[in-house]
Chain A
Amino acid sequence: MITNNNSKEALALSQVNQKTSLIKGKKIRKEKVTENITGLLFVLPTIIIFVVFLYYPFFNAVRISFYDYSGIGPLKDFVGLANYKKALVDPNYYNALFNIFKLILIDAGLGISIGFIFAYILYERVPGWKFFSVALFIPYLMSMVVSGTIWKMIFDPTIGLLNSALISIGLGNLARPWLADPGTAMYAVAVTWIWRTIPFNMIIMYANILKMPVDIIEASKIDGASVLQRLRYVVIPYLKPTFSVLIVLTITHGFRIFDTVWIMTQGGPARATETITTYIYRKAFQNLEFGYASAISIIMMIMMISIVVITNIIKRKSEG
């Protein structure tokens, strides 16, 4: 009897415990769901913006790329992959691509190295470093349109500052129509471009140099390393991850150049400064070939993603 009663009590107790833990479990889950909903609601505006302004236009662009479309009316002339095939045999497309890669190489080479030199000079606290840390950043704060307009005036062959300066110091034979000469136009645009990217690279590298452990530098000084040796064997190896990030950013930014080119040369003379973005703009809004322009945009996107992925793989392998 007593055993039976104990069993019954034990059973009742365990049932109560089960119910309690079930209720607790439900309560915990409910709290988690409530917390998640709150978090989801906070990110909802961003999700809406992404869907409306990014994902929907992207999928629409992919759809349009399979049509011959002038931009007005419904999509009706399905052409399949014809637009993509057209891009692959279009010499102007390859010209625009070549110009972009030229710009990226110049930016990666000069923009990052000059940015690094400035960052290191600031790190070494040269006299006036506080002033320079602000003054050198000013170009990055200016809009692309303003930068492009200023440099266009500087490069003007008749009334521009550059030719006037060259003539005044006896180098008049070097004066030329910088933006109208196919041999120099792209480099002139590149100068304007890196004038803006150098401050950005400088600030990123300066911030990373400042994070460098002081004892490493102290140790190298104690070991008798000169400034150049410290730079070569301590600072640069430390900044390798920063360099690789900046290279990826240089590539992705370079692919998107538009306003600088449009303001300065509009892709001329004779397409010497035509980039993928200006070419897409022309095809879409001047030639009314929206299907073709969309196809080029998709190809460009795939190219950018591939480059970023390959760069990351190389980076991981070198770190590994």
Chain B
Amino acid sequence: MKKKLIALVTILVMLVLTVAGCTPPTPAQSSSSSKPADSKQESKSAEKKQIKLKLATFSTDFSTDWVAKEFMKLNPGYTVEFEFLPSANYYGKIMTYAASNEMPDVFFTQSANYIDHTKKGLLTDLTSYLDTPSYEGDMKWGDTFIPAVLDSARSILKPIQSELKGKYYAMPYAMTSVAVMYDKKLFAKVGIQPPKTWAEFMSNNEKLKQAGYIPFSLVTEWIDWYPRIFWDQYLGEEIAKDPTAFETGKLTFSDKRVQQGLLGMKEMWDKGYLNESGLTANSQDVTNTFIQRKLAQYMLTPTRLKYLMDNAPKDMDLATFVLPGINGKPPKTLGGSSMLVGVSSSTKEFEGALRLAKFLTSKTLYAMPEMKYQNASIKNVKKDPSLDQIMKGYADAAENGFIPEILVPAEITPQMREVFMQEIVPGLMLGKTNVDEISKKLQELYKTTYLDKKK
């Protein structure tokens, strides 16, 4: 009898330990006394019951859970479980959540994934909520955004706009632009100035290479940037007039200008102006190369600035410039609203999730010191004047406007994006393929993964 009892107790203990090991982690708890939220009514209703939310992001602005803690500090009654994943792994995790019906209440999305998440019904239609008060409650939420950034967000869904009729399924978190960072002292040492034209840019690259530096950056997770920037120069105006040109067959991937966009990058690679490690090196690796003064010019978004600025030697005199247009036209920038915040269509706490989404696009957030390097998607956000030299390039880049997220549809589906990033661009750099083969492959993929499925 005693033996049986011991056996039973042991089994129960093992079962309990097994189940305990499988339970999810407890969310971050607010540690300090709270400041009442501006929208008092929402706060009061939240106080009556604990609202639990889950937030998932790939933005390196939130690589720690500080944003969740700040939100909870300002909004008593909310508990936010926070998850950050690097972008390479983020979308896989989101799809896992979707498959198991455990979507985060608020999550970030981007580009072709935004189209995919909208098509799969994972995001709530936020269009009507643009007329509701912003996080601070002083104006309509929709009116807080910079119009160009809002347009950029809407344009991402252009391929499926006929079904959506101008709706918004996620809101722009930041106004992303890209600029080229350089060390003024290094430029002075080599005897060059920030380039105003493409010819000057290539001439600078040659001088930097001769001086023993890697002239320009290449990052594996951004390997598609250069073709996209060059395509805007060669085809941007034509596609702006006729956004369905590829769908109707008026433009194809065999178009010489599409091929030129790829060959522009190939030329830089063949001349040794790009870091060879960029085919596998991530932004962290390339940032370290820049900080170690081996890389002369680093093209990056503001989201990567914090690590760089925190670790760059103090004697570096950093500044940014806009990459000149390869075809001589005023250069537009990648980005716009490349990072978007959406509310899950399956959230059980919609009001709370909406409040969190509004917080992520609010003046309150952008006033926080952790956000000093990020360009806001909303109006009237004051920047620290000491950062002007760094942020000038990003502001100048945004002035010319944004390149649509999907211009030449080489990455319009997740399958095309994967092949483009993993096979096509690296293969072209390494000489394993040529532009004619690439054109054929892209056209075939466009047909099988997009056009046929659209029917």
Contacts and interface: CB of A to CB of B under 8 A. Distances in A.
Contact of B18 (A34, A45, A288): A45
Contacts of A289: 415
A133 to B, nearest CB: 33
A185 B261 CA distance: 28
A288 B426 CA distance: 22
Contacts of B427: 270
Given A268-B426, A269-B430, A284 B92 contact: yes
Interface stretch (A15-23, A176-184, A213-221, A298-306): A176-184
Interface in B97-134: 98-99, 116, 120, 122
B277 A185 contact: no
A196 interface: no
Interface string B209-246: 00000100000100000000000000000000000000
Interface stretch (B1-9, B167-175, B189-197, B311-319): B1-9
A51 to B, nearest CB: 13
Interface string B82-102: 000000100111011011000
Nearest to B13: A45
Contact of A49 (B18, B278, B292, B414): B18
B423 A180 contact: no
Interface stretch (B28-36, B280-288, B335-343): B280-288
A269 B415 contact: no
* Overall SS of chain B's interface: helix
Interface in A246-273: 264-271
Contact of A286 (B15, B92, B295): B92
B275 interface: yes
A66 to B, nearest CB: 17
B303 interface: no
Interface residues of B, number: 46
A72 B279 contact: no
Contacts of B275: 157-158
Given A180-B280, A286-B91, A286-B418, A270 B426 contact: yes
Given A41-B11, A268-B220, A179 B277 contact: yes
A233 B311 CA distance: 59
Contacts of A284: 92, 95
- In which size bucket is the chain A interface? 35 or more
Contacts of A177: 276-277, 279
B422 interface: yes
A73 B278 CA distance: 38
A274 B120 CA distance: 29
Contacts of B278: 180
A156 B279 contact: no
Contacts of A156: 277, 281, 285, 289
A243 B150 CA distance: 64
Contact of A266 (B92, B120, B220): B220
Nearest to B90: A285
Given A42-B7, A72-B122, 10 more contacts: A41-B7, A45-B18, A48-B18, A156-B285, A179-B277, A180-B277, A266-B220, A271-B422, A281-B92, A290-B99
Interface of A: 34, 38, 41-42, 44-45, 48-49, 70-73, 92, 152, 156-159, 177, 179-182, 185, 264-271, 274, 281-282, 284-290
25 contacts: A38-B4, A41-B7, A44-B11, A48-B18, A71-B95, A92-B423, A156-B281, A158-B277, A159-B292, A179-B277, A179-B280, A180-B277, A180-B279, A181-B276, A264-B280, A267-B422, A268-B220, A270-B426, A270-B432, A281-B92, A284-B92, A286-B92, A287-B414, A288-B414, A289-B415
A-B pairs, top 7 by smallest CB distance, nearest first, are A285-B92, A269-B279, A270-B426, A177-B276, A180-B279, A158-B294, A265-B280
